[in-house]
Amino acid sequence: MLNSEKESITLNVNGENHHLEILPWVSLLDALRERIHLTGTKKGCDHGQCGACTVLIDGKRVLSCLSLAVMKEGTEITTVEGIAENGNLHPIQQAFIDHDAFQCGYCTPGQICSAVGLLNENKAETREEVQDLMSGNLCRCGANRGIINAVMSVKQMMSHE
């Protein structure tokens, strides 16, 4: 029998605590979009196959459609709305603009969160490695070249600092 009692949780999203009463099976994606009203994170496939719902949990890339909200209490959740700081775009956001790394824009929030996570991981050195590690984020419009160019430009900028 399913537990139909709501659970009281606090989620730290973009540096702000949100107190929620939710059912235990509510995904982090649905909590963000429907309860906290941060709609930047997109619902694509709802099966973890497209990456449109990618957010950062403690700086690491996570598919929010596959994560239960109740399991994320005590973590730092960053959505695309929390990437910029003090009104200044994150370098990856600026690079997406500079390299025309979006067309329809639907996948862009997940792509940006994934790119920031990728940079945090500091695993990819080559264009091919970036492409491989970003392959979980699909762009159906074909802006992949611009996306990879944007990530590579920020990686190069970071290596010169």
pTM: 0.93
Confidence (pLDDT) at 56: 98
Instruction: Say whether pLDDT at 99 is over 90.
Output: yes
Q: What is the pLDDT of residues 124-144, one digit of tens each?
A: 889 999 999 999 999 998 899
Residue 98 domain flag: yes
**Does 152 reside within a domain?**
yes
Structural domain including 123 reads 91-159
Give the pLDDT confidence score for residue 158 in this predicted structure. Answer: 87
Q: What is the DSSP string of the chain?
A: ----S-EEEEEEETTEEEEEEE-TT-BHHHIIIIIS---SS--SSSSSSS-TTEEEETTEEEEGGGSBGGGGTTSEEE-GGGTSBTTBPPHHHHHHHHTT--SS-SSHHHHHHHHHHHHHHT---SHHHHHHHTTTS--TTS-HHHHHHHHHHHHHHHHT-
2 within domain boundaries: no
pLDDT tier, 2 (very low <50, low <70, confident <90, very high otherwise)? low
Residue 112 lies in a domain: yes
Residue 58 lies in a domain: yes
| Total domains in the fold of the chain | 2
Q: Are residues 78 and 95 in the same domain?
A: no
What is the arithmetic mean of pLDDT over 4-21? 96
Better-predicted residue by pLDDT, 157 or 19: 19
CATH at residue 76 = 3.10.20.30
Mean pLDDT for the stretch of residues 29-46: 97
